[in-house]
């Protein structure tokens, strides 16, 4: 009799695992995937660009539909089916079928948890109002778009100024709305150092966004958002971009161990503390390759990689996920932002003594038409010169240079070793000395005392 694998969660961390398990066990494994929404394998990262009009429709964000998984992979995908409780002793999942208003028990031999994350919604007055929207899932996007299309939206308040916050702010600026971004933090993009985040703040204000930092939100009503410093900030619509928290309650309630920020603890093979139970994606933690600590990083790239590793192991193979660097990029209109490794605050918290250097350069040869400014901040460990992290803020052609730094970090390079990297050059793409190499050379000088 075939074993049954139950996958809880139909996005990247879940369906990547289900697909890999099927490839390795094409005949003797029954796979059931439970997804409480209507879609599978979609790009939540594309939601701001859908709202802003760059993407035509919801279905454009779906990489593989539930029917594709059923037909091509013989995975029994059950949408609008929510896992309510897991009984590890009886090896059963209590499932709520929302379309048919019924609950049933589903047995399993193997279980993979990919329940993702949910937007932070602090218990503030009015936060559950109909004009306050999160943007974590396609269901969220559908509700938001329905609201935008059914009402006159002239004033939008975005609460939070991280990746989602600034991307949603841009989306509504493109729609012609007056946008206010409110954050209780002293700067946007808290994952950047203050001097780099200030460049983002300047760009936001230059694009007409009313940025209000250091303003805790007190509550919401049908007039808008109430903050401690400004009182009422009028709004026809509010978007929450305050970050996310792991949706680990289901696993934790079953007795599975959790760790950083309550995320599910996994080993290098994505195994949890419970026999035969695996996890991947935004619901579980990762290992940081530079700090050596367990961290919580909710990124689609990580979810896909972890899901693939879990699926290979579930299918009888062997794979490991070594860890993360927290590499990420975003944009605000023409401003591009990238970061990888440790920020100054993170490096200090991890116990490193380090040098931080900053350089200004251009994305192309200075004389070439269309060249744009770029600023790079790079961190290197004192004495050893080991690369610890970098941040990039600039115009077109700036952000993806962070991938060079991420590659060097993965290789454990020193900044001195980076200066010899044989990077490409042509005037339309870079100065003779690429800005990444200029930053590495300055960091190498700082660590060597030259």
HEC string for 154-179: CEEEEECCCHHHHHHHHHHHHCCCEE
Give the architecture (CATH level 2) of 121-240.
3-Layer(bba) Sandwich (3.50)
Does the domain formed by 328-448 have CATH 3.50.50.60?
yes
Residue 218 is predicted with a pLDDT of 95
Q: DSSP H helical segments within 57-127, as ranges?
A: 66-73
User: What is the pLDDT at residue 136?
Assistant: 87
Cβ(376)–Cβ(361) below 8 Å: yes
User: Which residue among 45, 283, 284, 333 is the active-site one?
Assistant: 45
Categorise residue 9: left if φ over 0, alpha if ψ from -120 to 50, beta otherwise.
left
Is residue 2 predicted with pLDDT exceeding 90?
no
Q: What does 227-277 look like in DSSP terms, one character per residue?
A: ETTTEEEE-SEEEE-S-EEE--HHHHHTT--B-GGGPBP--TT-B-SSTTE
* Token pair of 7 as six digits: 């996958």
**What is the rounded CA–CA span in Å between residue 343 and residue 267?**
25
Note the pLDDT of residue 328. Answer: 96
Q: What per-residue confidence (pLDDT) applies to 70?
A: 96
Q: How confident is the model at residue 415 (pLDDT cuts 50, 70, 90)?
A: very high
* Dihedral angle sign, alpha carbons of residues 152, 156, 162, 166: positive
**Would you say residue 247 has pLDDT above 70?**
yes
Respond yes or no: is residue 45 known to be catalytic.
Answer: yes
Instruction: Answer left, alpha or beta for residue 305, where phi above 0 means left and psi between -120 and 50 means alpha.
Output: alpha
Instruction: With cut-offs at 50, 70 and 90, classify the pLDDT of residue 119.
Output: confident
Q: What is the mean pLDDT of the chain?
A: 95
The distance between the two most distant Cα atoms of the chain, rounded to a whole number of Å, is 72
Choose among 176, 144, 138: nearest CA to 36. 138
Domain boundary assignment for the chain: 3-115+245-314, 121-240, 328-448
Phi and psi based region of residue 449 (left: phi greater than 0; alpha: psi -120 to 50; beta: remaining): left
Residue 90 pLDDT: 97
* SS3 (DSSP) at 214: coil
End-to-end CA distance of the chain: 69
Reply yes or no on domain 3-115+245-314 having CATH 3.40.630.30: no
Based on its alpha-carbon atoms, the radius of gyration of the chain, rounded to whole angstroms, reads 23
Q: How far apart are CA 37 and CA 143, in angstroms?
A: 12
What digits encode the pLDDT tens for the residues 49-105?
A: 999 999 988 999 999 999 999 999 999 999 999 999 999 999 999 999 999 999 999
The DSSP line for 370-402 is: T--EEEEEEEEETTT-BEEEEEEEESTT-GGGH
Could you tell me which of 37, 28, 46 has the C-alpha nearest to residue 10?
37
**pLDDT range class, residue 449, cuts 50, 70, 90:** low
In the prediction, which pLDDT does 286 show? 97
- Sheet architecture: strand order including 217-221: 217-221, 224-227, 231-234
The three-class DSSP label of residue 417 is helix
Q: Determine how many CB atoms are found less than 10 A away from the CB of residue 281.
A: 33
Question: How is residue 42 annotated by DSSP?
Answer: B
Question: Which single residue is written with the structure tokens 């992979």?
Answer: 73
Which pLDDT belongs to residue 450?
59
pLDDT at residue 403 tops 70:
yes
pLDDT at 392 > cutoff 80: yes
pLDDT, average across residues 322-332:
96
Average pLDDT value for residue range 329-333: 93
Q: Tokens in use for 168?
A: 């949603």
Class of residue 105 by CB neighbours under 10 A (exposed 0-12, middle 13-18, buried 19+): exposed
Whole-number pLDDT of residue 448: 86
CA 93 to chain centre: 28
Query: Could you tell me the CA-to-CA distances from 78 to 32, 37, 83 in Å, in that order?
Result: 7, 9, 11
pLDDT over 70, % of the chain:
99
Q: Do domains 3-115+245-314 and 328-448 have the same CATH topology?
A: yes
Residue 285: the pLDDT is 97
């Amino acid at each position: 009799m075939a074993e049954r694998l139950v996958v809880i969660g139909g996005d990247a961390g879940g369906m990547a695992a289900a697909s890999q398990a099927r490839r390795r066990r094409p005949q003797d494994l029954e796979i059931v995937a439970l997804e409480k929404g209507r879609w599978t394998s979609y790009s939540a990262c594309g939601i701001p660009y859908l709202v802003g009009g760059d993407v035509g429709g919801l279905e454009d964000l779906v990489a593989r539909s539930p029917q594709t998984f059923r037909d091509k992979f013989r995975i029994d995908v059950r949408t609008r089916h929510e896992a309510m409780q897991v009984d590890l002793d009886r090896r059963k999942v209590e499932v709520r079928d929302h379309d048919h208003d019924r609950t049933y028990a589903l047995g399993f031999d193997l279980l993979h948890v990919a329940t993702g994350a949910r937007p932070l919604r602090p218990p503030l007055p009015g936060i559950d109002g109909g004009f306050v929207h999160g943007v974590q899932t396609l269901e969220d996007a559908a509700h938001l778009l329905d609201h935008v299309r059914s009402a006159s939206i002239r004033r939008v308040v975005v609460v939070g100024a991280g990746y989602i916050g600034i991307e949603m702010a841009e989306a509504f600026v493109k729609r012609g709305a007056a946008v206010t971004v409110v954050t209780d933090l002293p700067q946007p993009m808290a994952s950047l150092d203050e001097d780099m985040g200030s460049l983002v703040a300047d760009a936001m204000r230059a694009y007409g966004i009313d940025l209000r930092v250091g303003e805790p939100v007190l509550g919401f009503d049908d007039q808008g958002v109430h903050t401690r410093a400004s009182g009422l900030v009028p709004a026809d619509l509010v978007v929450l971009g305050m970050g996310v928290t792991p949706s680990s309650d289901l696993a934790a309630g079953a007795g599975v161990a959790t760790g950083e920020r309550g995320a599910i603890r996994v080993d290098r093979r994505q195994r949890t503390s419970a026999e035969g139970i695996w996890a991947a994606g935004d619901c579980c933690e990762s290992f940081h390759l530079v700090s050596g600590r367990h961290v919580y990083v909710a990124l689609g790239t990580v979810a896909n990689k972890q899901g693939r590793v879990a699926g290979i192991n579930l299918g009888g193979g062997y794979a490991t996920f070594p860890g993360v660097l927290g590499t990420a990029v975003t944009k605000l209109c023409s401003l591009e932002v990238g970061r990888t490794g440790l920020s100054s605050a993170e490096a200090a918290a991890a116990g490193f003594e380090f040098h931080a250097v900053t350089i200004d350069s251009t994305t192309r040869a200075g004389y070439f038409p269309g060249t744009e400014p770029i600023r790079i901040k790079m961190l290197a460990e004192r004495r050893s010169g080991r690369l610890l992290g970098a941040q990039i803020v600039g115009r077109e052609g700036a952000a993806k240079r962070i991938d060079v730094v991420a590659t060097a970090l993965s290789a454990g390079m020193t900044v001195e070793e980076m200066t010899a990297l044989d990077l490409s050059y042509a005037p339309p793409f870079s100065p003779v000395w690429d800005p990444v190499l200029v930053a590495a050379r300055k960091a190498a000088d700082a660590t060597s005392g030259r």
